[in-house]
Amino acid sequence: MNRRSYRLEEIAHLVKGEYFGEKDFQVFNLASLEQAQNQHICFVNGDKYLSQAEASQAGAYIVTAALKQQLSSKNNFIVVDNPYLAFATLTHIFENKIIQRGISSTAKIHPSAIIADDAYIGHYVVIGENCVVGSNTIIQAHTFIDDQVEIGKDCFIDAHVTITGAAKLKDRIRIHANTVIGSEGFGFAPYQGKWHRIAQLGSVQIGNDVRVGSNCSIDRGALDDTILEDGVIIDNLVQIAHNVQIGQHTAIAANTAIAGSVRIGKNCIIGGGSAVAGHLNIADNVTLTGMSMVTKSISEAGTFSSGIGLFENSHWKRTVVRLRQLADVPLIQITKRLDHMQAQLESLESTLKLRK
């Protein structure tokens, strides 16, 4: 059974902070500053939220020491160095957890599969031959785990997920609803006006602490494996093609498409709606802003963008016309015009100096 409330002193201990105020004050849940009531705790993540905190009805606040001094009208605090990180920790404390364990009567599991005694296998789950499901892992209803798939401990596999291609998942992985892992990669050989399917012989390897959102597709490799290293986080509706390798702690936002055989480094951030063309390499610590289109490798860390920013419609139309007109002018002609303008400016500057 999930616990319903915590004392202020307990919460301070859980987030490694220091409490001020009534140590036995009962906190029943987290809430936003705007919606909080007296039984809630909120976090204040900077000076710009102080006015909202002053107006809030929350019973307790997670703050830095400096912010506490500015909230003199409030009584109960937990002081930490990073309120947002403390908030993230507390979301796990108040989260409604699945406490069921065992195998549902409607699940179909091959006799050769190895299922940990404290795992949970939901209704109508199918688990194939020689599969492994680790300790404390939860697999929700209607999920299909194909032959030879291995899933580690403390994982969460949501409903209607398909894991195939002899994929290997390590520990503390979260896969959300309707995602497909290990499906056939998009490999075809063109010959005489037809496409000839290439059988995909690789697999998928997913490291520890990886999160994959809902409705994603992660293809198995053609020969080498598709690899997601430790700590990778992936939003909803992301396509990762065959043979892609993604480095540790890289984050990929929704509606992104990564083409085949791309290598993405560690600690990268890929904004929503981006696309990366096949067989490219992206260095460590690269950030791509939303809607970026990557058509060549990126060899150095930094922030990169592409596309045209938003304009009012009539302004956008004029801009497109000018771009088309510019494209019709030979580059050498533009260069000559710029050189001529620069010479005129230099001559004008010299004349003004002589007059002084």
Round to whole Å and give the CA distance between 146 and 162: 8
Round to whole Å and give the CA distance between 217 and 331: 43
174-175/211-212 β-pairing: parallel
Round to whole Å and give the CA distance between 146 and 177: 17
DSSP 300: S
Cα-Cα end-to-end distance for the chain: 87
Round to whole Å and give the CA distance between 112 and 276: 40
In the sheet with 263-264, reading across from the earlier edge strand, the strands are 114-115, 132-133, 150-151, 168-169, 204-206, 226-228, 245-246, 263-264, 281-282
Number of Cβ within a 10 Å radius of residue 277:
15
DSSP 48: G
* Tokens coding 250: 């890289």
Q: Is 92 a catalytic residue?
A: no
Query: Could you give phi then psi for residue 168, rounded to 5 degrees?
Result: -120, 115
DSSP 3-state percent helix, strand, coil across the chain (nearest 5): 20, 25, 50
Q: How far is CA 236 from the centre of its chain?
A: 8
| Helices of type H across the chain | 8-14, 50-55, 65-69, 83-94, 313-328, 331-355
Count H helices and E strands in the chain, helices first.
Answer: 6, 39
* Tokens coding 296: 């060549």
Among candidate residues 242, 279, 315, 340, the one labeled active-site is 242
Tokens 């940990």 identify what position? Answer: 116
* Tokens coding 102: 């065992």
Round to whole Å and give the CA distance between 17 and 9: 9
Residues taking part in catalysis = 242
